Structures are given as C-alpha cells and as structure tokens.
Amino acid sequence: MDFTNIKVPKGIKARQPTESELEYFRRNTNVSGMATDDDAVILNPYSGLKESEYQAVALNESSRILMRQPKYAPDFDLTEQQIRFLDSTTYRNASEDDRKATIAARLLSGDPSGGIATTEQAVFVKNLQQALQIGD
C-alpha cells in the first residue's frame, strides 16, 4: 500500500514501520495503525483498508501522540457503554488514561466504536481538533 497520500496533522511525524513492526502487523491485521514509542504514526499495510479509512487511522493515532502531553491528557469520564466496549477489547487491562485516549481518538476520527460522546467528551475532542489544526 502506498501511504504517500495519507496526511498527519502538523507537528506529528509519520514513518514506515520497522521490520519488527511489519512482522507484528502481519500477525495482527486487525491493528490498522499505531502511535509508536518514538511518537510517530505508522500504518499497517496488511489491514486492507481503503485510503479514507487509513486517513482516519492516521488521525486517530496522531491524536494519541498529542494526548501523551500532560496539557492534552484526557480528563473526562467514560460512559457505561464505552466501558463495556473497552472491556471487550485488548484495552480491558489498559490504564484509565489509555482507555480515555482510545475513546477520544475514536471520537475524533469518526470511528463509531467510540460511542456517543458526552458533552464533556465533545469539548475535549474539539480542543484536540484545534490543537491538531484540523477541521472545525
């Protein structure tokens, strides 16, 4: 897959996956992208997504990188529906901050698995959008 048309927000870097990351992606085609430990976005060429879907993944992962900064750390409550969803995924044992970041990133990128945003979550996501200089 050619990712040259996939854009990340200003201030966020994207890179090609390393060999070990590619091996992980080969084994986990359900993982479509990742915010890496070196604060870069990488995408899984084996997940078979459309370009528009990869673009949403790039936005999702970019927001996760931003939320690593204390200024942008998630500071909202999760709904019961969101908690049930996360408990059914690999995020069931994740830290509360990672669980909140997962929901915020999904809400930002338009992933319906994020559930219905509360007012507090919508405000948080709007602030993320502004920080990433995307959309309205």
Residue 7 falls inside a structural domain: no
The answer as to whether 1 is a domain residue is no
**43 falls within a domain:** yes
In a domain, 107, yes or no: yes
Gap between the Cα atoms of 8 and 119, Å rounded? 26
Q: What's the domain count of the chain?
A: 1
Position 4 in a domain = no
The pLDDT value given to residue 106: 95
DSSP string computed for 78-126: PPHHHHHHHHTSGGGGS-HHHHHHHHHHHHHHT-GGG-PPPHHHHHHHH
In a domain, 8, yes or no: no
Render pLDDT for 107-133 as a digit per residue (tens, 0 to 9): 999 999 999 999 999 999 999 999 998
**Position 2 in a domain:** no
22: containing domain:
13-131
- CA dist 62 and 42 (Å) reads 10
Q: What is the pLDDT of residues 23-66, one digit of tens each?
A: 999 999 999 999 999 999 999 999 999 999 999 999 999 999 99
123 falls within a domain: yes
Of the candidates 26, 10, 62, 25, which has an alpha carbon nearest to the alpha carbon of residue 41? Answer: 62
